[in-house]
Chains A and B, each alone.
Chain A
Amino acid sequence: VNVDELFKEHRERLLRYLLRLSGNLDVAEDVLQDTFVKALEKPPTKQDNVKAWLFTVATNLLRDRSRRSARQNEILLERTPPAHRPPSPLQHSEAAELRLRLYRALDGLSERERTAIVMRQEGFAHREIAASLGTTTGTVGTLLARALSKLTQRLSLDGDTP
């Protein structure tokens, strides 16, 4: 496995995935870095599903980090602008507000629910999500249904949608 190529191919998706799970850009970047250090130290031995391996490593590293330190309550999707610079118009746009609502809603899920729904969004099969969470596909279905139900309440998925 060429880790350099792996980085180029998956960096952006993995960073966004970690951002959705953690809600914090600094944390996401740190775990992204750790993930690829791990990939260099012990590259995946099987070629067939490198993407699942990479996302599982990242998920576990983020989980380990969360256990070591309390989850950061502040949702930080952008780099903090310097104090002397006014916020850009983008930061006040409607899309930015909607993004923040999505991340707050994700933040309200349990860690396993959040991982399941975000991995599903990345296109992983239920068996891959189950392998990553160390559970069964049946439990994954339950987690996904619960996540959808909670997000429906918080984002009005059955009514006011963007």
Chain B
Amino acid sequence: MNLEHEDKWLQQLKARLDDHETPPDDQLWEALVARMAQPKPMPVKPRLRVYYILSGVAAAVIAFLFLLPIFNKGNRNEVKDNGNIVAISTEPLPKGKETMPCADEPIQANTTASSDVINVKSEDLKDYTPTGKRDNRSGARVHPKTTLEQSETRSSANRQHFDQSISKAETNIADKLTSTLTEGHEDEALIASAQTATPTVQEAQPAVDKRQETLTAAERWAMNTPQPSSRDTREVQKALAKQAGSFRERIDRWSMRTYAGNVAYASTALSPMSINDLFSISSSGKEEYLSWDKPVLMLRSSYDDNTIDLDDASFSHSSPFSVGATFVRNIGKGMFVGSGLFYSMHRSTFSTTHRGYDLTGKQLISFLGVPLQVGYNLYQNDRFRLYAFADGSLEIPLQRKVRINGNISDIRLTNSEIVRKEKLQFAIGAGAGAEVRINNFIGFYAEPELHYYINNNSGINTIYKQSPLNVNLNFGLRFVLD
């Protein structure tokens, strides 16, 4: 294109700058040689988008957590099958079979008229079974060959002591059976307390002498004890936990948390938000954006005539508002893991100049996030829980809307676009939470959390860019799923 006659000054400009040189950095040549020395990348299949991979990982984690109870259940069934007491007989054992059966081995059914079949796990009777030690390799219990004749020589004092031990052991068995029948979980505190109360081998040695009586007692208890109510179970467990001297681990394994949250204090300003700021997006702000005259996609070229560059605009960011749901699983030892989805909305205002006009506007960006959380219960009882956690999250930008208000009457500048190639946002965080349980199934919690948003070199100006370190406050409900 030939510059027009009246653009003579542009011709002069071209002449001045055509051969103008700007020396590059001294390190550029070395960097260039290093780049050239690298082998040329082989053409490879397009890699999966990072967020597909991470979403897959999150889905796999969730699936694993769901399947874990099934595997555990299978293991428990196996033990149960091996340890089920099919029947307990009140008949005297035949001569030569005086050795008390191992608690881990099924006692064969004796189908006499006096026998009653009960479905009691022998595992739960192991504390009751007073004899022997477990073989470390086989796991089978080894019993001393105590005979009836030997037992007859015991003194009456020993018998009295044994009776007390048996009574104590029965109480523990009853408690544990209650727990097992109602909850189906092994609780370390329960086991610890039950074992504390179990008579030692020496104390219980006369059990062989009294095996008929003890079996009868167990049978009598098993037949006469009614199925405990849930409330009874909780009370029993609470008592046992107190007896064990430690806080009982929460027995619900699966829960779902729904929450809403906001950044209560941004690290840059450290000033509290007003209620209006907190909820403006979900109320009037949303309606305002929906009422745009032409909320159409305008993915024009960046060199279009009416492009406004916000790169140098002055931004003021409000705290993001988010809602979400997370599935949490207790994995034992007071620890839990969780993952789910959340949706967050970011609102910003900005001011800039364009063609001599002072412009102000609003920017609204929405993200879909996938969190992954690991936590530990610091303290808990039936009604209250304190915990700490660390998490990481991936946020996928979904949409950005910009509304510009010019100081010119009757002019409304709008823009709305689906963010297609915007970069993902990663964050790491740590925090603590407190939960108050409303009833057996619902709890209310609040979680202050410190989040650090990793710079993704995005061109979009968000609070993550301006203030990577943020304090979040999430609050919500937790529903027990099992």
Q: Do A and B come from one complex?
A: no
Q: Which residues of B contact A (CB under 8 A)?
A: none
Q: Which residues of A contact B (CB under 8 A)?
A: none
